[in-house]
Structure 1
Amino acid sequence: MTKKAAPAGPWTDEEELECVSVLPESPDVATVCFQAPSGRPFAFEAGQFITLELPVPGGPLYRTYTISSPPSRPLSLTVTIKAQPDSIGTRWIVDNMRPGMKVKATGPAGRFTSAAFPAKKHLFISAGSGITPMMSMTGEIYDRGRDCDIVFVNCARRPSEIIFKRRLEHMATRIDGLDLKWVVEENDAYSPWTGYQGRFNQLMLGLMAPDYLEREVFCCGPEPFMQAVREALAGLGFDMDHYHQESFGAPQQPVAGLIEELMPDDDLPAEDTMAEILFDITGVTQSVPQTETVLAAARTAGIAIPSGCTFGVCGTCKVKKTAGDVHMVHNGGITEEEIEEGYILACCSNPMGKVTIDA
């Protein structure tokens, strides 16, 4: 019998993803492995993310997750997720996702990737589930089979909550140059801990990576954690051009007056000026103040535009603008090429006058 060849070309988001396994990692944390039913391989860069359309009660919910598997293993794609007490989508995955289920997805996307900043020496710093892009980057380097120079720092509340700990320790026994550093806030009961304890600080950084000035730094975790890392590095004279971070939390507020300095007042959306949006496919026209986003106007008009992060990172709400102008301040969820082709992110685009949207 002749074996049927897999379709040519990589997976695209026109095809659903099929869950093939769900692996518990630690309390409320699971790794979900997906494959393409067609057998197509996945093409992405280490550190990128994917947006899943989740069939939660009340309608589809869009959530963005970093890919934790390396691109060097393209026949499957994994996301490692942590269900917070107030999470909806992630809690649904942990409680309901089973092998054989299929979900729609968009992506991969994102610019937080080691491929964009090649270096001989890396410093990966993460906290909690922020370890996922670091796992993808480290896994790709590991799969090359060559010696490396990675200082891998992960911070967790307690040792039992360190995600991927055993897997990374196994990898470190098979390749030279993977230096693992764990930091915890407190011990597990009846379990001695001999590693770092407390909150990540400058002293720890100097002990973990004395040559940090020579390294390309990637950081991911809650915003207060990343702020502490930034301040620690800047205070030690680190060249912040070699610092890169990823977060799906709302971005920090810009410095007062910065936007006004960069853009004339006449170009900024005005609350007392009305705009008009024509949603071309549905034929609906919506009049809104310029300070209203295209996404908010669509929701008011009953038009469904998929959205995830709602502040311009994930790219889920990307739609095509066929006429008119918008004021868009995004956070990396769209490329310059896409903007030139007429695409916008509905969540962070304000209509300026009459605008036509392909929705």
Structure 2
Amino acid sequence: MPAMGKMMEGMMGGMGQGCCGGAGTELYPLMMSLSSMSPEQRLQVQRLSAARIGEGKALVQLGQQRLFAAIASGDHKVAAEAMQQLRDGLGRIGSGAAAHKVLAEGTRPQATAMRWFKGEMNLGPVGDGESGMASERLSLMHIIAMALLVGFAIAMITMYFFKMRRTASLFGRIEAGSEKPPPGAAPALGGTLAPNGPNRPDTGTLPVVPGDPAQKVGSARPPAPMASPSSEDASPSLPNAKWHGLLRVIQIIAETPTVKTIRLGPAADAATLPFTFLPGQFLNVAFFIGGARMNRSYSISSSPTQRAYLDLTVKREPRGAVSRHIDDLLREGDELEASGPMGRFTFTGAEANSIVLVSGGVGITPMMSISRYLTEQSWPHDIFFIYAGRSPADFIFASDLGLLERRNPRLHVAVIMEHPEGSNWLGLTGRLSMAVLSQVVPDITSRRVHMCGPPVMMDAVRSLLLELKVPAEQIKTEDFGTTAPVPGAGSNRFAAAATGPLVNFSESGKSAKIHVDQTLLELSEELNIGIEFSCRVGTCGICKVKLTAGEVDMAIDDALDAGDKENGIVLACQAKPRGPITVEA
């Protein structure tokens, strides 16, 4: 029998999921090697079978979601992959259930594993004296399959019904000669919808403009006319950004020699994150280093559809206190104080009929979240992903991006390396230029562009895009700015005596005149008041303070919601007094 077990194990290794086990588990060979079970072996089988059923449930859920989305978009390739996921998931559930049956009924492990194998191979039940088990297992699998088919049929009928309603509504508007309907909503993210907020320079959002796919690279055909969804669709809105609490480090992944991904999950015994976010948003995280509290804002690189965890991808900076702390001292199991999510640098697929994602260095992080989400949603439009790196060794998410590209025929990836010397790099080399942008993105003037990376790179690429006649309102950028001034730098900026309005900090009991063009945050730093901050560019919201008297001007107020503004909350990093003011700080 041990020899038979080894032969079976080898055979099952060639199958996609394996008998009573599969990739990542040893349930099948374990059961084949046991004629009876000790208490320790029973616990091991119980643990492995429970994990197997959990894997199967996750595969079935994901397969159903992908199948419905693929049918709605007409993507037969993704539909076939989703069907295979459903089959794999059912197989895993069945194998785990078979192992549970051994534990519950005291049947022989070898006989159960052999029965499962023969059932998977359609060889009929194994005659071992335990009559009826094959028919029971077959009946259970039939019931599960029938339930899935019934659910699928109901979903298809429902989708058909709503499509017919939307079609009738559209024809009704055409016949009546009515105006274009309101823009449609993005695919749901755990109850949240796509952003639609006020614009601000470089980082605002465009009105939602759904449409048909733009063309692949090299195609001379212009983008197809945009479709108009039903007015029944809800207006998109940002998730609530007021969450604050603890997250637990569940994994640390080395991406490159200087970049790590920190995977964060719920701190408590919960299955999902305590908040939702949109692809492209960031999280504020607090660290206590050397007795000082330091806040940082990091873009989320994982997809919002992953509810069990989120990923923050961080580059170690030679002079960065927090990034060095993360790289050197952060460990799995540590808890971090976090708040958010924040940011309007989002794209869910509802805002435009194609997207160009341009990134450099660690600026790739929000682009990965967007690309992962659009791929998981089977978004039927073109995504142009352009990444500029220093060298192949510094290429963050190289393998992940390759997998996404193979999975999504609408994802067009172009990577350019400035210094490929000493490597086997065969792709584009040098820096981004007008020629490269024109080559990899046809009809670029008609597309929405998102950029994230070093400020110097973004300034250069923005100039190239404007030269290519891309409208400025179609260019969106993400930049957290400098997290703290370098000691001694800019010390002569406010060397002269302050001549601006008087600023009273009511909680600290300090007051002083402010310099012309100085912000509240800069003045508070001079007076050692200690207003917390992170981004210094008006997006993270950490430097919020209450204005109790007077008025201020703010160039950017993205981190403030309607409630903040009604309650007199201002951003210290942006606020410049019009006259004498008082703030609670």
Q: TM-score range by the shorter chain?
A: 0.7 to 0.9
Alpha-carbon RMSD across the aligned residues, in angstroms, is 2.5
Relative distance call for 1:283 and 1:54 in structure 2 (3 A) is: closer
**Residue of structure 2 in register with 1:258 after alignment:** none
Relative distance call for 1:233 and 1:353 in structure 2 (3 A) is: closer
Tell me, in whole angstroms, the C-alpha distance in 1 between the residues paired with 2:414 and 2:290: 41
Give the 5 Å matches for 1:18-29: 18-29=248-259
1:343 to 552, 562, 569: 569
1:205 to 411, 419, 437: 437
* Superposition deviation, residue 324 in structure 1: 2.6
Relative distance call for 1:355 and 1:158 in structure 2 (3 A) is: same
Question: Is residue 2:298 matched to residue 1:72?
Answer: no
**Residue of structure 2 in register with 1:182 after alignment:** 415
Question: Is residue 2:429 matched to residue 1:218?
Answer: no
* Superposition deviation, residue 61 in structure 1: 0.9
Give the 5 Å matches for 1:87-102: 87-102=320-335
Q: Secondary structure of 2:412's partner?
A: strand
**Residue of structure 2 in register with 1:161 after alignment:** 394
**1:127-160 deviation per Cα after TM superposition (whole angstroms, max 9, x unaligned):** 1111011001111101113444111110101112
**Residue of structure 2 in register with 1:227 after alignment:** 459
Q: Secondary structure of 1:170's partner?
A: helix
**Residue of structure 2 in register with 1:256 after alignment:** none
**Residue of structure 1 in register with 2:540 after alignment:** 314
Deviates more, 1:290-299 or 1:89-98: 290-299
Give the 5 Å matches for 1:5-154: 13-38=243-268, 39=270, 40-41=272-273, 42-115=275-348, 118-154=351-387
Relative distance call for 1:117 and 1:148 in structure 2 (3 A) is: closer
Q: For structure 2, list consecutive stretches of 5 or more residues without a partner in the other structure.
A: 1-189, 192-239, 483-496
2:499 to 256, 272, 284: 272
Amino acid corresponding to residue 15 of structure 1 in structure 2: G
Q: Secondary structure of 1:347's partner?
A: coil
Length, aligned pairs only: 330
Tell me, in whole angstroms, the C-alpha distance in 2 between the residues paired with 1:116 and 1:180: 18
Tell me, in whole angstroms, the C-alpha distance in 2 between the residues paired with 1:240 and 1:298: 35
Tell me, in whole angstroms, the C-alpha distance in 2 between the residues paired with 1:162 and 1:66: 17
* Higher RCO structure, 1 or 2 (CA under 8 Å, sep 6+): 1
**1:52-75 deviation per Cα after TM superposition (whole angstroms, max 9, x unaligned):** 111111401111111111112132
Question: Is residue 2:466 matched to residue 1:240?
Answer: no
1:192 to 424, 427, 431: 424
- Kindly indicate which of the two structures has a greater share of residues assigned to strand: 1
Conserved 8 A contact 2:255-2:396: yes
Question: Is residue 2:554 matched to residue 1:328?
Answer: yes
Tell me, in whole angstroms, the C-alpha distance in 2 between the residues paired with 1:21 and 1:240: 40
Relative distance call for 1:147 and 1:165 in structure 2 (3 A) is: farther
* Superposition deviation, residue 354 in structure 1: 4.5
**1:29-53 deviation per Cα after TM superposition (whole angstroms, max 9, x unaligned):** 0000111223352311111111111
**Computing the radius of gyration over CA atoms, which structure comes out larger, 1 or 2?**
2
Relative distance call for 1:169 and 1:352 in structure 2 (3 A) is: same
Deviates more, 1:9-18 or 1:113-122: 9-18
Q: TM-score, normalised by structure 1?
A: 0.84
Deviates more, 1:232-241 or 1:35-44: 35-44
Question: Is residue 2:512 matched to residue 1:287?
Answer: yes
Tell me, in whole angstroms, the C-alpha distance in 2 between the residues paired with 1:242 and 1:171: 25
**1:219-238 deviation per Cα after TM superposition (whole angstroms, max 9, x unaligned):** 11112211221121111222
Q: Secondary structure of 1:173's partner?
A: helix
Relative distance call for 1:344 and 1:98 in structure 2 (3 A) is: same
Q: Structure 1 residue runs of 4+, over 6 Å off?
A: 8-11
Task: Provide the identity percentage.
Answer: 32
Question: Is residue 2:585 matched to residue 1:355?
Answer: no
Tell me, in whole angstroms, the C-alpha distance in 2 between the residues paired with 1:232 and 1:168: 25
Q: Secondary structure of 2:252's partner?
A: strand
Conserved 8 A contact 1:153-1:180: yes
**1:302-324 deviation per Cα after TM superposition (whole angstroms, max 9, x unaligned):** 54321112232322101222333
Tell me, in whole angstroms, the C-alpha distance in 1 between the residues paired with 2:339 and 2:263: 16
**1:183-206 deviation per Cα after TM superposition (whole angstroms, max 9, x unaligned):** 0012252x3221100110011111
Relative distance call for 1:12 and 1:341 in structure 2 (3 A) is: closer
Relative distance call for 1:232 and 1:14 in structure 2 (3 A) is: closer
Tell me, in whole angstroms, the C-alpha distance in 2 between the residues paired with 1:239 and 1:299: 39
Relative distance call for 1:11 and 1:285 in structure 2 (3 A) is: closer
Conserved 8 A contact 1:106-1:316: no
Conserved 8 A contact 1:290-1:351: no
Q: For structure 1, list consecutive stretches of 5 or more residues without a partner in the other structure.
A: 1-7, 251-269
